Amino acid sequence: MGEQSNLLSQYSPQELSERVKSTIAGVKYITIATVSEQGEPWNAPTFFAYDEAYNLYWGSPTESQHSKNIKANSQVYIVIYDSTVTPGTGKGVYIRAKAHMLSKLDEARTAFDTIMKRRGDIPYWPYWDFEEYSPEKPIELFQARPQKIYTNGGIMKDGVYVDSRVEVKLESLR
Protein backbone atom coordinates (compact mmCIF):
# COMPACT_ATOMS: atom_id res chain seq x y z
CA MET A 1 0.00 0.00 0.00
CA GLY A 2 1.47 3.36 -1.07
CA GLU A 3 1.61 6.80 0.47
CA GLN A 4 -1.66 8.77 0.51
CA SER A 5 -2.31 12.24 1.92
CA ASN A 6 -5.36 14.47 1.56
CA LEU A 7 -4.33 17.97 0.52
CA LEU A 8 -7.53 19.44 2.01
CA SER A 9 -6.68 18.16 5.47
CA GLN A 10 -4.51 21.25 5.95
CA TYR A 11 -7.66 23.41 5.99
CA SER A 12 -9.91 23.97 9.00
CA PRO A 13 -13.70 23.59 8.59
CA GLN A 14 -13.92 27.41 8.71
CA GLU A 15 -11.35 27.74 5.92
CA LEU A 16 -13.22 25.21 3.79
CA SER A 17 -16.44 27.15 4.40
CA GLU A 18 -14.73 30.39 3.32
CA ARG A 19 -13.40 28.63 0.22
CA VAL A 20 -16.95 27.62 -0.74
CA LYS A 21 -18.36 31.09 0.00
CA SER A 22 -15.70 32.88 -2.06
CA THR A 23 -16.17 30.52 -5.01
CA ILE A 24 -19.95 30.99 -5.02
CA ALA A 25 -19.57 34.77 -4.69
CA GLY A 26 -16.91 34.97 -7.40
CA VAL A 27 -18.51 32.89 -10.15
CA LYS A 28 -21.74 33.95 -11.83
CA TYR A 29 -22.59 30.80 -13.75
CA ILE A 30 -23.57 27.32 -12.61
CA THR A 31 -23.76 24.10 -14.53
CA ILE A 32 -26.96 22.22 -13.69
CA ALA A 33 -27.07 18.46 -14.24
CA THR A 34 -30.56 16.99 -14.59
CA VAL A 35 -32.07 13.74 -15.82
CA SER A 36 -35.00 13.37 -18.21
CA GLU A 37 -38.03 11.15 -17.59
CA GLN A 38 -36.33 8.60 -19.86
CA GLY A 39 -33.20 8.65 -17.68
CA GLU A 40 -31.05 10.64 -20.11
CA PRO A 41 -28.59 13.11 -18.56
CA TRP A 42 -28.61 16.80 -19.43
CA ASN A 43 -26.19 19.54 -18.40
CA ALA A 44 -26.92 23.25 -18.75
CA PRO A 45 -24.93 26.37 -17.88
CA THR A 46 -26.91 29.33 -16.56
CA PHE A 47 -26.45 32.62 -14.73
CA PHE A 48 -27.47 32.34 -11.08
CA ALA A 49 -27.95 34.26 -7.86
CA TYR A 50 -28.11 33.05 -4.27
CA ASP A 51 -29.51 34.12 -0.92
CA GLU A 52 -28.06 34.08 2.61
CA ALA A 53 -29.10 30.42 3.05
CA TYR A 54 -27.24 29.52 -0.19
CA ASN A 55 -30.41 28.66 -2.07
CA LEU A 56 -29.67 29.17 -5.77
CA TYR A 57 -31.98 30.98 -8.22
CA TRP A 58 -32.14 31.24 -12.01
CA GLY A 59 -34.53 31.90 -14.84
CA SER A 60 -34.84 29.52 -17.78
CA PRO A 61 -37.04 29.16 -20.83
CA THR A 62 -40.13 27.07 -20.16
CA GLU A 63 -39.26 24.71 -23.02
CA SER A 64 -35.58 24.20 -22.11
CA GLN A 65 -34.62 20.59 -21.48
CA HIS A 66 -33.39 21.22 -17.94
CA SER A 67 -36.64 23.01 -17.04
CA LYS A 68 -38.64 20.01 -18.25
CA ASN A 69 -36.29 17.62 -16.44
CA ILE A 70 -36.59 19.47 -13.11
CA LYS A 71 -40.39 19.28 -13.33
CA ALA A 72 -40.10 15.48 -13.76
CA ASN A 73 -37.26 14.92 -11.26
CA SER A 74 -36.31 17.55 -8.69
CA GLN A 75 -32.89 16.02 -7.93
CA VAL A 76 -30.12 18.12 -9.50
CA TYR A 77 -26.36 18.34 -9.23
CA ILE A 78 -24.79 21.76 -9.62
CA VAL A 79 -21.15 22.64 -10.22
CA ILE A 80 -19.65 26.11 -9.74
CA TYR A 81 -16.08 26.73 -10.90
CA ASP A 82 -13.93 29.32 -12.63
CA SER A 83 -12.93 27.81 -15.96
CA THR A 84 -10.46 30.63 -16.70
CA VAL A 85 -7.81 29.67 -14.12
CA THR A 86 -4.70 27.61 -14.77
CA PRO A 87 -5.37 23.85 -14.67
CA GLY A 88 -4.78 22.43 -11.21
CA THR A 89 -5.37 25.77 -9.44
CA GLY A 90 -9.16 25.98 -9.60
CA LYS A 91 -11.60 25.88 -6.74
CA GLY A 92 -14.89 24.13 -7.31
CA VAL A 93 -18.16 23.83 -5.45
CA TYR A 94 -20.37 20.81 -5.98
CA ILE A 95 -23.97 20.90 -4.78
CA ARG A 96 -26.50 18.11 -4.54
CA ALA A 97 -29.87 19.87 -4.39
CA LYS A 98 -33.60 19.67 -4.89
CA ALA A 99 -34.85 22.17 -7.46
CA HIS A 100 -38.31 23.41 -8.28
CA MET A 101 -40.08 26.03 -10.30
CA LEU A 102 -41.29 28.96 -8.21
CA SER A 103 -45.04 29.27 -8.66
CA LYS A 104 -45.92 31.57 -5.74
CA LEU A 105 -45.81 35.22 -6.74
CA ASP A 106 -43.97 36.42 -3.61
CA GLU A 107 -41.28 33.72 -3.93
CA ALA A 108 -40.87 34.45 -7.64
CA ARG A 109 -40.55 38.19 -6.95
CA THR A 110 -37.88 37.59 -4.30
CA ALA A 111 -35.96 35.29 -6.67
CA PHE A 112 -36.24 37.77 -9.55
CA ASP A 113 -35.01 40.65 -7.38
CA THR A 114 -32.11 38.51 -6.13
CA ILE A 115 -31.13 37.62 -9.71
CA MET A 116 -31.40 41.22 -10.94
CA LYS A 117 -29.32 42.52 -8.03
CA ARG A 118 -26.55 40.07 -8.89
CA ARG A 119 -26.76 40.87 -12.60
CA GLY A 120 -26.11 44.53 -11.87
CA ASP A 121 -25.15 46.30 -15.08
CA ILE A 122 -24.79 43.12 -17.16
CA PRO A 123 -26.90 43.67 -20.29
CA TYR A 124 -29.83 41.30 -20.59
CA TRP A 125 -32.39 40.28 -23.17
CA PRO A 126 -35.78 42.02 -23.16
CA TYR A 127 -37.51 39.01 -21.55
CA TRP A 128 -35.86 39.84 -18.22
CA ASP A 129 -38.93 41.68 -17.00
CA PHE A 130 -40.73 40.20 -14.04
CA GLU A 131 -44.00 40.08 -15.95
CA GLU A 132 -42.50 37.49 -18.31
CA TYR A 133 -42.11 34.91 -15.54
CA SER A 134 -44.84 32.39 -14.88
CA PRO A 135 -45.87 28.92 -15.95
CA GLU A 136 -47.87 30.48 -18.79
CA LYS A 137 -45.01 32.70 -20.01
CA PRO A 138 -41.76 31.91 -21.85
CA ILE A 139 -39.50 32.15 -18.76
CA GLU A 140 -39.76 30.37 -15.41
CA LEU A 141 -37.90 31.02 -12.19
CA PHE A 142 -36.29 28.15 -10.30
CA GLN A 143 -34.83 27.58 -6.87
CA ALA A 144 -32.38 24.87 -5.82
CA ARG A 145 -32.13 24.06 -2.11
CA PRO A 146 -28.77 22.48 -1.30
CA GLN A 147 -28.79 19.11 0.42
CA LYS A 148 -25.01 18.62 0.43
CA ILE A 149 -22.12 20.86 -0.58
CA TYR A 150 -18.59 19.80 -1.41
CA THR A 151 -15.40 21.54 -2.47
CA ASN A 152 -12.52 20.13 -4.43
CA GLY A 153 -9.04 19.37 -3.32
CA GLY A 154 -6.70 16.57 -3.96
CA ILE A 155 -5.09 13.47 -2.68
CA MET A 156 -1.47 12.61 -3.33
CA LYS A 157 -1.45 8.87 -3.90
CA ASP A 158 1.90 7.27 -4.58
CA GLY A 159 3.20 10.66 -5.70
CA VAL A 160 0.32 11.28 -8.15
CA TYR A 161 -2.28 14.03 -7.70
CA VAL A 162 -5.84 12.65 -7.67
CA ASP A 163 -8.75 15.13 -7.54
CA SER A 164 -11.09 14.61 -4.59
CA ARG A 165 -14.05 16.17 -2.79
CA VAL A 166 -14.69 17.06 0.82
CA GLU A 167 -18.11 17.84 2.26
CA VAL A 168 -18.63 21.29 3.76
CA LYS A 169 -21.49 21.43 6.26
CA LEU A 170 -24.32 23.71 5.16
CA GLU A 171 -24.59 25.18 8.65
CA SER A 172 -21.02 26.52 8.35
CA LEU A 173 -21.98 28.68 5.39
CA ARG A 174 -24.60 30.70 7.23
Confidence of residue 163 (pLDDT cuts 50, 70, 90): confident
The size of the chain, in residues, is 174
For each of the domains in the chain, give its residue range(s) and CATH number, in order of start.
13-151 (2.30.110.10)
pLDDT at residue 1 tops 50:
no
What pLDDT is attached to residue 173?
A: 92
CA distance 150 to 168: 5
When pLDDT is averaged across residues 134-157 and rounded to a whole number, the result is 85
- The larger pLDDT score, comparing residue 36 to residue 163, is at 36
Per-residue pLDDT tens over the stretch 82-130: 888 887 778 899 999 999 999 898 999 999 999 989 988 666 655 567 7
pTM above 0.75, yes or no: yes
Residues 9-66 have pLDDT tens digits of 677 889 899 999 999 999 999 999 999 999 999 999 999 999 999 999 999 988 999 9
Does residue 160 surpass a pLDDT of 50?
Answer: yes
Residue that wins the pLDDT comparison between 104 and 156: 104
Whole-angstrom Cα distance, residue 58 to residue 101? 10
Q: Over 80: is that where the pLDDT of 8 sits?
A: no
Measured between alpha carbons, how far is 143 from 30 in angstroms, rounded to an integer?
13
Place 164 in a pLDDT band, splitting at 50, 70 and 90: confident
Residue by residue, what is the 3-state secondary structure of the chain? Answer: CCCEEEHHHHCCHHHHHHHHHHHHHHCCEEEEEEECCCCCEEEEEEECEECCCCCEEEEEECCCHHHHHHHHCCEEEEEEECCCCCCCCCCEEEEEEEEEECCCHHHHHHHHHHHHHHHCCCCCCCCCCHHHECCCCCEEEEEEEEEEEEEEEEEEECCEEEEEEEEECHHHHC
Please determine, for residue 4, whether its predicted confidence score (pLDDT) is greater than 70.
Answer: no
Predicted pLDDT at 153? 78
